Structures are given as C-alpha cells and as structure tokens.
A and B are shown apart, each in its own frame.
Chain A
Amino acid sequence: MSAPEITTLEPGDLHLGGPAWRAAEAAGHDMSLIVEALRMPVSERLRQHDLALNAALSLREAFVQQYAGTGKAHRETY
C-alpha cells in the first residue's frame, strides 16, 4: 500500500506548539516561514524555492562583479 500523499495544510490543521516545534523555535528557526510553506501546494514550494535560489545567485553575482579585483569582496567594511 502506498503512503499518503502530501497535502496542503491550513494553520488550523497544524498542531503547533509541541515539543519539537518549541525546540525548533527556541533554536532560532523562523517558524512562520514553515507555516507559510505548509500552506502552499508542493508545486508552489518548489517554485518559491527556485525563485529564492536564483535571487540569491543573482545578488551574489552582482556583488562579485562589483568588487571583482578590488580585494574588497570579503572585507567586513567597504
């Protein structure tokens, strides 16, 4: 028998505040991001992930280009 499929969950369907949830919160994870992800269909989670990845790569590329050859790219101040 195959396992149940992943389904989209509304905040009311989630059982928040248990020990693992509290532990993650105490460790500094932004749990609102997780609640938001759990509300999304899986396809949207993938889309948002890929957008975030490409936004980060674009910013990194722009940063590297701006400071290429200046020796400043990894100093603490500019």
Chain B
Amino acid sequence: MPEPGKLIARLIEHDVEFVVVGGYAATIHGASYVTFDLDVCAPCSVGDIENLRKLHAALVDLHPLHRMSPFERTFVFPPRNAEETGNIYLRTDLGQLDVLGCIELGDYGFAREHSLPVRHASGEYRLLDCRTLIRSKETTARPKDLLVAEQLRAILEATQPPHP
C-alpha cells in the first residue's frame, strides 16, 4: 500500500539527507492534488556514499527495486555501477520513491538552500519552499505541473502577510 508519508518517516529515522520536492511537496504546502510517488532531492551521486548507505538502510526491508531498470533489480548498497546513482527511481512496499540528484532549477545544494524545515513525529525534514516549487513547476511546464503551480501561487498569496 503506498504511504509516501511513512517513507518520509523512514528517511528521517535513518538520518538521510534530503529535501521533499515535486507533487508531494505541493500537497504539504496545501495543494489538493494526489500524487502516486514521493520525490526527494538528495546527494546520491557516486561520491555520496554515506547518504546512499543511509538511504539503503532506510529502505532495505521494504523490498526496494530499481523500477526503471529492465529487470527491476534490487536496490543494493554499495551501488553496482554509476547508473544506480544520480537519479534513483525505486518501487518499495510503501510506494514509489524517486531520489533525484538535482531538480529542474539546480542541484541538491540549490534545493537545500531553497527549503524550509518541517517538523515531523520522527524528527525534522526539509521541504522545497513554495516560491521555488512554483518556479520548478513552471520550468517543467507540463500541463499537470502548470495546474499545480496555479494552486501554489494562490496558496503563496493567501499565506503571505499583506503588504503594509
């Protein structure tokens, strides 16, 4: 059963470094769309061994598979090759998880810089801020992204203090 919220808890509990981006970030900001997967931006290139190790530890009992690979190979640590790093598209018992090395606007450093902390029962995680999420959705500019951006602009406006 997909439960992206529980996937976030797993990542927090295992001290994975990540920022929630994509459709689930829009949900957290208050958008009304339902999304099937959890997208996070995280250090996950070949050199980010420690974060990859934590990511694997967080997911290992959830039967994680590389869902884009021809035979849905198991997500293992250490990675078998460079193709299993960078952008990691997984299927797990708690739903799909996309671990992205960068988003449309920049790398993990950029995403982290444009994120805010969110409290969670398991600790704290970081969420792409609403303005940056809007820019990201406007940059990809797929029809579904533009619909979400429309809601996010309304949310941003509604939650900002009025100009004096």
Contact = CB atoms under 8 A, between A and B. Distances in A.
A50 B28 CA distance: 12
A24 B154 contact: yes
B140 interface: no
How big is chain B's contact interface, by range? 35 or more
Interface residues of A, number: 36
Contacts of B158: 14-16, 18, 21, 34, 38
Contacts, number: 109
Contact of B116 (A2, A14, A21): A2
Contacts of B117: 2-3, 5
Contacts of A38: 30, 155, 158-159
Interface of B: 1-6, 8, 24, 27-32, 34-36, 115-121, 127, 129, 147, 150-151, 153-162
